[in-house]
Amino acid sequence: MGYKIKVLLFLLVVTAMGVLLRSEYTNLPQLIHQSIWCCFSKDNLVFIRRVGPFLSANINISEDAFTWWKNIQEEKNDFTYYKATVKKLFKIFPPVPTFGKSSTGRTKTCAVVGNSVNLKGSGYGPLIDLNDAIIRMNYAQIRGYEADVGTKTTHHVMYPESAVNLDGATHLLLLPFKIQDLEWLIQAFTTGFYGKSYAPLKSKIRANKDLVMVISPAFMWYVHEIWLQNKRGYPSTGFMTLVLALHLCDQVNVFGFGADSDGNWSHYFEVLRNKRLKTGLHPGRDQYDLIQFLAVRKAIKFYKGV
Catalogue the E-assigned strands of 95-147: 107-113, 133-137
Q: Which strands sit side by side in the sheet containing 212-214, from one edge to the other?
A: 212-214, 171-174, 155-158, 133-137, 107-113, 249-255, 301-303
Given the residues 155, 224, 267, 282, select the one marked as catalytic.
282
Identify whether 159 is a catalytic site residue: no
Identify whether 282 is a catalytic site residue: yes
Q: Residue 65 in contact with residue 219, Cβ under 8 Å?
A: no
Given the residues 124, 222, 234, 303, select the one marked as catalytic.
234
Question: How far, in whole angstroms, is CA 103 from its chain's centroid?
Answer: 23
Closest CA to 137 of 167, 162, 111, 117: 162
**Whats the size of the chain, residue-wise?**
306
Closest CA to 119 of 295, 264, 285, 257: 257
Q: Cβ–Cβ contacts within 10 Å for residue 277, how many?
A: 11
Catalogue the E-assigned strands of the chain: 37-40, 45-49, 107-113, 133-137, 155-158, 171-174, 212-214, 249-255, 301-303
Q: What values do phi and psi take at 93, rounded to 5? A: -110, 165
Q: Residue 216 in contact with residue 89, Cβ under 8 Å?
A: no
Report the distance separating Cα 218 and Cα 60, nearest Å: 9
| Sign of the CA dihedral with 233 first, then 239, 241, and 243 last | negative
Q: Give the burial class of 146: count Cβ atoms within 10 A of its Cβ; 0-12 exposed, 13-18 middle, 19 or more buried.
A: middle
Closest CA to 111 of 163, 154, 171, 145: 154
Residues classed as catalytic: 234, 282
